[in-house]
Amino acid sequence: MLTKASYQRILRLGFPFEVLNKDLRLIFTSNLTGAFGDGLYAYLLPYYMTKTLNASAVEVGILYAIVSLVAASTLFIAGMFADEYDRKKIMIAGWIAWIPAPLIFSFAENWLQMLPGMILWGFWFGGPTTTAYVVTTADKKQLTLTFTVVSSAWSVGYIFSPALGGYLAEIVGMRFVFYLAFVLYTLAALILIFIQSQKAEDFKQDSSKEQYSLLKLLKTRELLKYSAFFASIFFVVIMFRPFVPKFLGDIYHYGDFEIGILGSISFFGSAALGILLGKLGDRWKKSYALSVSMALCSFTLILLLLFNNFPILIFTFFLMGGSYITWSLMSAIIGPSAPESIRARWVSIPQTISMFSSFIAPYLGGILYYISPQYLFITAIIATAIMTFLASLAES
């Protein structure tokens, strides 16, 4: 017989997804589908560029720098469109821009031919648009958890896809992997057709006010503070992240499948730790959750340098997943401070500045890696430790 306690335990199985309404669950599903396609090749892409296309570490850094530069250029544009037009359509457009990218990658014969695909891959219309959509529709008392749960769709999508992508790459080749990603990107766009439209309230009436101009927003002290701090965090993360799988291949001599397995574990850790840090942010301070995320990043890079032992690396990459939720934590901190009528534009400014300041980070990472892989990660360890301290002092 089903007791009351047993029934309550069954209900709790739906946690933490109970914080999502119908539209947010569809966004979660879309992100999950697209992330699975993205994860099939994204984690292996730097290694693929080096192994198959004979790209150097500096050339890999250039390509990822271009992705960051394009993303920085599109974020504020997306924020303006999302405040003036239907946010649903802007999110769909973000997926549509990604759809051709894996097809371009599949036909590239050298690193320069990857460039058009990397440019499209950099279109990030969903950043400020999704942030504004979530803040407007979510329960404000559980906002951090809502952001980390929505963001966890990417992590869950990556749990099995890097390992599957690595396996398929070894069995049938990367071209098939790219084709499969193309299909899943298309499905992700189609799923968003079923969410409700959302437009910024009173934008037409308020958009002419002087305080909503770009110049005035850029002079807002609160936005400048967020922008400087988050730009520093994003710069450090983007500097080293593309070179983690390359390090595993170059220094520890793991193949596609082993690298994919560790990538899957990292994203599983991101999903699990994201929920825990989301609860921490809602119960205490959002800045505390961000500080823990940075501390995990620093600690796991130390383990990566010290141990070429697969069981230890499994533990390391699980904890490394905490570094993948910094963007959702940043969104949870910035989003509630914005006026509803310009929310997407407001949050796009720190996101844009973060991207612009970090577009050179992969190139710098490539130079440091060329000098010494250990030198790159030691630099990242010191920088993330500093960010941990600063985040713990921040108010939210």
Q: Read off the pLDDT band of 9 (50, 70, 90).
A: very low
**What's the pLDDT tens digit per position in 102-121?**
999 999 989 999 999 999 99
DSSP 285-323: -HHHHHHHHHHHHHHHHHHHHH---HHHHHHHHHHHGGG
Torsion sign, CA atoms 80, 86, 89, 91: positive
Where do the structural domains in the chain lie, given as residue ranges? 17-194+203-393
Cα separation of 266 and 282, whole Å? Answer: 24
Closest listed residue to residue 104, CA positions, set 84, 126, 120, 89: 120
pLDDT band for position 13 (50/70/90)?
Answer: very low
pLDDT at 335 over 60: yes
Looking at residue 365, its amino acid is G
- Cis, peptide link before residue 16, omega less than 30° from 0: yes
Residue 317's pLDDT band (cuts 50, 70, 90): very high
Please indicate whether residue 376 or residue 199 has the higher confidence score (pLDDT): 376
Q: Tokens at residue 348, please?
A: 């796009």
Closest CA to 185 of 95, 121, 69, 296: 95
Q: Could you report the per-residue pLDDT of 93-106, keeping only the tens digit for each?
A: 989 999 999 999 99
Local structure of residue 112 (DSSP, 8 states): G
Q: Which CATH number is 17-194+203-393 given? A: 1.20.1250.20
Residue 338 has what pLDDT? 65
Q: 218: pLDDT confidence band, cut at 50, 70 and 90? A: low
Closest by CA position to 98, among listed 192, 198, 183: 183
Q: What is the mean pLDDT of the chain?
A: 82
Over range 150-157, report the average pLDDT. Answer: 81
Q: How far apart are CA 369 and CA 394, in angstroms?
A: 32
- pTM score of the predicted model: 0.72
69-90 mean pLDDT: 83
pLDDT in tens, 58-79: 888 788 878 878 887 888 788 7
- The per-residue pLDDT for 10 is 37
Contact 294, 242 (CB under 8 A): no
